[in-house]
Amino acid sequence: MTEYLLLINIGPVQEFIAAARRSRDLWYGSWLLSELGKAAARAIAEQHGIDSLIFPAPSDPSALEPTSSLIVPNKIIAHINEDPTVAAQRVEATVRSHLQTLAETALTQVKGSFLREEALGQITDLLEWYWVALPISTDIAYSVLRGQLEALATARKLTRDTRPVPYPAMKPKSSIDGLRESVIPEEQYDLLAPDAIFAQYGARRGERLSGVDLLKRHGAAAGEERFPSTSHIAAVPLLQSMSKSDTSKAQVAWASYRQALRIAGVDLGRLPKRYPLHLLLGPFEGALLFEERLAEDVSNHDKLATIQRALRTFLAEAAGGATPYPYYALLLADGDEMGKAIDAQESAEHHRAISAALDGFAARVRKLIEEEHKGALVYAGGDDVLAFLPLHTVIPCAMRLSTELTTALKLFPKCDGTPVTLSAGVVIIHHLEPLNDALRQVREAEKIAKALPGKNALTVRLSKRSGGDTTVCDHWSKLDTHLLAFAELFLDKDRPLPDGAAFELRSLAERLRPSHGDHDTATLLRAQRKEALRILGRKQSGLDKQRLDLKHEQFKVLDEAVNDPELSIEQLADELVIARELARGLAQARG
């Protein structure tokens, strides 16, 4: 019997995941695609054995069960010994059946009336399914065969299936993706109060939701119904310092605030069960610490004023009156030139081994992000990672991810013998900014890191609500080291670096920037660095104006940065601007 190498692609991917207004939408969309990939892999393993799977390559069939934590990419590669058309049709039927089950389970959670059949139809039409296969021959090397299979898969995806499109009566489109019609009757928005609309549909008054949107809002992933909000992630540094406030007054103030929220009809959002209980807030979200979030849920001015006063009283007792800093970080990371590492594998067994190594890396990522760095993992499949992180842990977390991936794949170098590295993009953004904007910016940041010669890089973008964006990019062990050291300088108790230092350096770079045609560019650049040392020396409270104090390690890093001919004064200024933002998160976390 002829044996085949089968490749299955399940979509849509980026556009489906990016259609998200809330962190929960993003998380569930990512989880759903993984779950469908897991169902496909499970169907193949049941028919051909667990060893038939090449990518992913779990060692235990239980890893493919719906309750497992394994995240499966949307691409499956397997070695099968039957007609690939028959195999692909059987797997597709399994995947579609699983999607139908997930959809029906989610839609039963919707309390209000909606167009159920239309919603199910939209979810059924969501799935994109592509497969290709090639016969395995001893005359063709595995690496060559796999390359041919990948090329064939690309061609198949470009040859899209078409079918008649139903044109229903004119209805409002989904507020989330703008493609599908809303399945919530319009009259419901007139009949129901805003809090009732949210309670019944999970929608705000201005949101129109399609069947796919309802699936994202009401589906339960791996037993979890919740995912931390961007507001909660922004509040984590303050929550960490509040954990030290074990006073009876703080506990009484929290009880009073909770009571005021209940009377006002505010939903007390809870964290997923896997997160530990907070000393004061217990299982509740840090989003409750933002006054601006309360205004979204309470339209009655008197009730709003009452709960805002209760919140201020609680913050006065638990945090000395501090309010949470409203910025968080979104991180997107990806292995560099993974295709070259896979191309270097000469057999299916070697490919299976690198897949297993990637599975091991992905399995460690959740603990690294959620337990060690207080973030929230959206997706970790293979070498791809997407996560929300608080300001005070995002750079250390990114550094660990880079080290972990390189270590996991140390036995699988690329064709030229160089190790696999990781590049990451980070965007620091306000917790109320649209999530699709944060996603767009973090993807741009990752592309900038990937475009740096040699890759193995980090890009950090600061997107402030007022003012333009600030973006810096450099290789690991340079940019990350700078940002952490500079943040500590801003927090130095004896001689903190003032906020204005970065802006003076920006002004300096503008004043002494070489213009086109300058014949003495080198002299101008030397003058830039000499003046930068003078400015920073003056900022450091009377230190020698030509050299920085080298007593502390952070000062050494800053001194080296100023004298680094490969680092422009403009980038140094931008790094200081971003480091100041990270320092604000660190300051709150330390209390």
Give the pLDDT of residue 301. 85
**Can you give the C-alpha Rg of the chain in angstroms?**
27
**Cα separation, 94 vs 36, whole angstroms:** 9
List, for residues 162-211, the tens digit of each pLDDT value: 666 565 556 889 988 888 899 999 999 888 887 788 889 988 878 899 99
Give the pLDDT of residue 76. 95
327-477: CATH, from 3.40.50.720, 3.40.630.10, 3.30.70.270, 3.40.50.300: 3.30.70.270
Task: Tell me how far CA of residue 360 lies from CA of 41, 508, 589, in angstroms.
Answer: 17, 48, 31
**Cα separation, 548 vs 525, whole angstroms:** 19
Pairing of β 457-463 and β 422-430: parallel
β partners of residue 376 = 388
- State the chain's mean pLDDT as an integer: 89
- Give the pLDDT band of residue 541 (cuts 50, 70, 90): very low
**Cα separation, 274 vs 370, whole angstroms:** 9
Mean pLDDT score, 508-519: 71
Burial of 29 (0-12, 13-18, 19+ CB in 10 A): buried
List, for residues 443-488, the tens digit of each pLDDT value: 999 999 999 999 999 999 999 988 789 999 999 999 999 999 999 9
List, for residues 121-173, the tens digit of each pLDDT value: 999 988 899 999 999 998 899 999 999 999 999 999 888 776 665 655 568 89
Burial of 420 (0-12, 13-18, 19+ CB in 10 A): buried
Task: Tell me how far CA of residue 409 lies from CA of 32, 113, 354, in angstroms.
Answer: 27, 51, 7
Q: Return residue ranges of the chain for CATH 3.30.70.2220.
A: 4-215
Pairing of β 327-335 and β 75-80: unpaired
Kindly report the CATH class assigned to 4-215: alpha beta
- Give the pLDDT band of residue 382 (cuts 50, 70, 90): confident
Beta carbons within 8 Å of 150's beta carbon, 6+ residues apart: 7
319 closest CA partner among 240, 391, 220: 240
Consecutive H or E run containing 4: strand 4-11
List, for residues 387-431, the tens digit of each pLDDT value: 999 999 999 999 999 999 999 999 999 888 899 999 999 999 999
List, for residues 542-584, the tens digit of each pLDDT value: 444 444 454 467 778 888 888 888 899 899 999 999 999 999 9
Q: Return residue ranges of the chain for CATH 3.30.70.270.
A: 327-477
Q: Look at the pTM and tell me if it is higher than 0.85.
A: yes
**Cα separation, 10 vs 95, whole angstroms:** 10
**Cα separation, 591 vs 588, whole angstroms:** 5
List, for residues 53-92, the tens digit of each pLDDT value: 999 999 889 999 887 888 888 899 999 999 999 999 999 9
Runs of H (alpha helix) within 159-247: 187-191, 194-201, 211-218, 230-242
List, for residues 263-289, the tens digit of each pLDDT value: 888 888 899 988 999 999 999 999 999
Query: Are 20 and 216 a contacting pair, CB within 8 Å?
Result: yes
Give the pLDDT of residue 243. 80
Is the N-terminal amide bond of 56 cis, ω within 30° of 0?
yes
